[in-house]
Structure 1
Amino acid sequence: MAGEALPGVSLTFAPRGSDAEPLRTDVAAFLGRLRRGPVGSPVRAENWSDVVGAFGPPDGASATPYALRGFFENGGRTAWVLRVSGPAGTAGAQWTAGDLGGLTATRYQVVATSPGAWGNGVRVAIRFQASTVAGPPTVSVRITVPGETPESFPGLPLAEVADRLTASRYIRLLPDGPEPAPARSGPISMSWELALTGGTDAPPTRQEYADAVTAQAELPEPALVALPDLGTDLAGTAHTDAVLELLRTVSPLLDRLVVLDVPPGLSSVDDTVDWVQSLTATGDSELLSCAAVYHPGLRTPDGPGLRTVPASGHVLGVIARLDGERGAHHTPAGAVILEAVDLAADLPEPQQVRLFDAGVDLIRCTRGRGLMVWGGRTLSADPRTRYVAHRRLLHLLVRAIRRVASPLVFDVNSPELRLTLVRAVTSVLLAAFRTGALAGARPEQAFQVVCDDTNNPPEQDPGQLVCEIEVAPAVPMEFVRLRLVLGQDRGLEVIEA
């Protein structure tokens, strides 16, 4: 992107390249509405400045930017951001350049880089300078957007104007007319002042959210997911159905946790409990084990005042911070939330008890410590899949096991392959044991790996290899069972037994 430094000086900053790291469990995916930026295309951000550069500053119209800021303020390091939008209009303006020799067209459409009403405030100043003793004719462009850093592109060769402006965060230049007539003498300089219009916003529907859910599922890196605007954009059964569809997409992956916010339209504890029960009524512990609800929202500084924001972004930041400090198996319960000053709702203790019993993880304000995460449970009622710490340990193991087992998919089923697989999986589990993530005084008390004739009998398909794993999380002493199936015709499957 380009940014103005001094008059007549333009600096261009290339985005920092970063390869995805699928083994990490502290990377989050945020799906929601943002001011501008690509719609439906995931963008990787490593800090709050990356978010503002790609999607613009928060404008108060949606919750996702504030949730992202809370994520990074609480220790998050990497987030994938998917802007979700309905069929919005893209702002634009026409530049009639005329017969300026060197340009590829006499007329251009100047369009915003992404749809949305944000583009209506964009102003583009263009100045043409004819040939001088100092060089050939040039065009200089200055782009001004309210509330954002202006961009300057001075001294552009006429034939390269459209290509050079692809570096802009705000506009693109599209030829929209015939080629100029043969060069002839003309004015020494010319100027144009353009204002983009026609941009519109449209709230996302369930289908746009479904598309975003599919897109995040295809990303190997995120291990945490939040949808801060979902409760505002969808209500009633549409919201419940969208959440369940999200969980059905995430659950088979066995490698990510969804943190949900209570929809802001639910004004009472009774409404909140009914909403949670609409999710848990499925009774599917596997489905519910990949989701946790945190409530109430938070009051955070925003300019001279305070703003109410959903808790999911701050909570994901806390989880990511603890992941880096202590490991994925550490519970977020008892951790302090940073950069928030109050709760959005002061719930009496009887109401807190009702929410806790319904499966909601509370955020509480405690004397001497401030705001704290007060729960670490998923929506599952099954003790084997109830705890966030256990699920995230499972996510880490699944990611690590996939990494070591995937290269073996096309090997021939043989004693050598079984030994190689057992060694690779054992190395992953030993590493988890040494960090204190697993129970027991010795490795054999913490895990067991079986890949022999008992689960691979002679009559089994020779193109398939089964490896069964039992893991005991540190607390409480409950085993997690995984089943690995290597098949030459279907790759690697990891199934929770």
Structure 2
Amino acid sequence: MAGEALPGVSLACPPRGSGTEPLRTDVAAFLGRLRRGPVGTPVRVESWNDVVGTFGPPEGAFATPYALRGFFENGGRTAWVLRVSGPATTARTAWPVGSLSGWDATSYQVVATSPGAWANGGRVAIRHQASTVAGPPTVGVRVMMPGEPPETFPGLPPAGLADRLTGSRYIRLVPDGPPPPPGRPGPISTSWDLTLAGGADAAPTRGAYSDAVTEQAELPEPALVALPDLGTDLSGAAHTDMVLELLRSVEPSHDRLAVLDVPPALSSVDQVVDWVGSLEATGDSQLLGCAAVYHPPLRTPDGQDLRTVPASGHVLGVIARLDGERGAHHTPANAVILEAVDLATEYPEPQQVRLFDAGIDLIRCTRGRGLMVWGGRTLSADPGTRHIAHRRLVHLLVRAIRRAASPLVFDVNSAELRLTLVRALTSVLLSAFRAGALAGARPEQAFRVVCDDTNNPPEQDPGQLVCEIEVAPAVPMEFIRLRLVLGQDRGLEVIEA
């Protein structure tokens, strides 16, 4: 446990992240650069304090911490964070204890908990008090990292010190020598003042981002994805290819939306439009329906100064806030952005029109209302996949349908199974209808569930069951068709027709 403690008293705090909720559609995943923290390992956070505790305070060179702060300031409640890094080095220092008895080793390595330059200059003060009539030997450790609150670990026994320091956010102790010989008590008190050095940051490679994208695709909870530092770390074709790889990773699941930022090097409207065109050149409406671009970046407070920050984190916070207030089917537009004071670029109206026509959702500053999200479209030109509200309704339904249908995968294909499946799916769709997500005055006008001999003929493989679902979003009055396939050999598959 980090912080002050009393001898003989310990406090164990269970780690967050065990209570995941795959039905939620307001949980975001952030992939990017942070000051410290585990690399490539997803961490679930539920507040800005959680972010600072695990990944440190905002680092001026990285955008992801500021995007996370914007997410929570705008109403976000839960996020998964994956720190992306190149082959960085970890700060460390040697600690020669000597032949004092009672220790596990004659020397140790004091190593920062994660790679990067954040721990350089960090100081570790260690005080050893030998055994006296007042009690057994004790060790006190104080850790002071630049820009971070200090940690104090008083009254620890020398034996097993490395294990007891695993509660530190900043350091780990690694035995680096043989055990000391017995019977060498040494002086009554000994002090060591150590300084960590040798840590270095490294820009993420395309492969590091690819690994992070693969990792987030395996998380069942996130329904929103952002990569705030991607445009800084990768450029040109490498950036475009990485965005397309991200979209290909999320498209098969039909349950999440990627919010993209325009690369900061693209300063003119022509460059921005050309970049969007390079993504739209795929012509795949299902793929493009997984992404929305919000622009321009925002100016946010950073101490006494203002900092330019990509808009994705703030927009995800707005989407999460509206999700909790009104539901996933609500369009994330005409909503106020908090924790930002200005736009990084103010485009004249003709240029705003060009950006809008290119498929970009604008952030605008309006008189009397401040900064507002001014668009709710994906990059797709197909009316069936163009509206964010419709895509997120599908995401919600797919998640709910999975929960209802997954327990039935290994049941025998029978009339009872079909009836059970139809009842479960109808319950999910009725909930969406009552929440105002679907059109029509009556449920039969809002959705249809077909699971009978028409789509399960007698000659069909008995190990496979097909169920077709049609839903009419509240606006416009168009049906979205989902095809649900339960197969004993391949589990549950949801296909958007």
TM-score by length of 2: 0.98
Q: How many residues align?
A: 496
The residue number in structure 2 matching 1:27 is 27
The CA distance in 2 between the partners of 1:313 and 1:9, in whole Å, is 43
The CA distance in 2 between the partners of 1:456 and 1:419, in whole Å, is 13
1:422-467: CA deviations, max 9, x gaps? Answer: 0000000000000000000000000000000010011110000000
The residue number in structure 1 matching 2:354 is 354
TM alignment of 1:259-274, pairs within 5 A = 259-274=259-274
The residue number in structure 2 matching 1:454 is 454
TM alignment of 1:88-127, pairs within 5 A = 88-127=88-127
State the 1:15 CA deviation: 5.0
State the 1:122 CA deviation: 1.2
Change (3 A) 1:127 1:305: same
State the 1:135 CA deviation: 1.6
The residue number in structure 2 matching 1:68 is 68
The residue number in structure 2 matching 1:251 is 251
Secondary structure, counterpart of 2:431 in structure 1: helix
Cα RMSD of the aligned pairs, angstroms, is 1.4
The residue number in structure 1 matching 2:206 is 206
Secondary structure, counterpart of 2:320 in structure 1: helix
TM alignment of 1:73-472, pairs within 5 A = 73-472=73-472
Gapped runs of 5+ residues in structure 2?
A: none
CA contact under 8 A between 1:99 and 1:183: conserved in structure 2?
no
The CA distance in 2 between the partners of 1:283 and 1:478, in whole Å, is 22
Change (3 A) 1:13 1:151: farther
Gapped runs of 5+ residues in structure 1?
A: none
Matched to 1:71, the amino acid is F
Matched to 2:127, the amino acid is R
1:268-312: CA deviations, max 9, x gaps? Answer: 000000000000000000000010000000011110111110000
The CA distance in 1 between the partners of 2:185 and 2:149, in whole Å, is 37
The residue number in structure 2 matching 1:494 is 494
Secondary structure, counterpart of 1:184 in structure 2: coil
CA contact under 8 A between 1:2 and 1:11: conserved in structure 2?
no
The CA distance in 1 between the partners of 2:380 and 2:458, in whole Å, is 38
Secondary structure, counterpart of 1:240 in structure 2: helix
Matched to 2:86, the amino acid is G
Change (3 A) 1:48 1:15: farther
Bigger Cα displacement from structure 2, 181-190 vs 30-39: 181-190
Matched to 2:228, the amino acid is P
Change (3 A) 1:9 1:203: farther
The CA distance in 2 between the partners of 1:149 and 1:11, in whole Å, is 20
Matched to 1:414, the amino acid is S
State the 1:213 CA deviation: 0.4
CA contact under 8 A between 1:318 and 1:335: conserved in structure 2?
yes
CA contact under 8 A between 2:485 and 2:493: conserved in structure 1?
yes
TM alignment of 1:41-56, pairs within 5 A = 41-56=41-56
CA contact under 8 A between 1:74 and 1:339: conserved in structure 2?
yes
Bigger Cα displacement from structure 2, 12-21 vs 155-164: 12-21
The CA distance in 2 between the partners of 1:314 and 1:4, in whole Å, is 35
TM-score by length of 1: 0.98
Secondary structure, counterpart of 1:121 in structure 2: coil
CA contact under 8 A between 2:260 and 2:294: conserved in structure 1?
yes
Matched to 2:313, the amino acid is G
Secondary structure, counterpart of 2:249 in structure 1: helix
Bigger Cα displacement from structure 2, 307-316 vs 134-143: 134-143
State the 1:470 CA deviation: 0.4
Change (3 A) 1:320 1:335: same
State the 1:478 CA deviation: 1.4
1:111-161: CA deviations, max 9, x gaps? Answer: 000000111121111111000222211111100011111000111111121
Secondary structure, counterpart of 1:250 in structure 2: helix
CA contact under 8 A between 1:251 and 1:286: conserved in structure 2?
yes
Secondary structure, counterpart of 1:200 in structure 2: coil
State the 1:183 CA deviation: 2.1
CA contact under 8 A between 1:4 and 1:150: conserved in structure 2?
no
Secondary structure, counterpart of 2:390 in structure 1: helix
Bigger Cα displacement from structure 2, 430-439 vs 175-184: 175-184
Change (3 A) 1:102 1:330: same
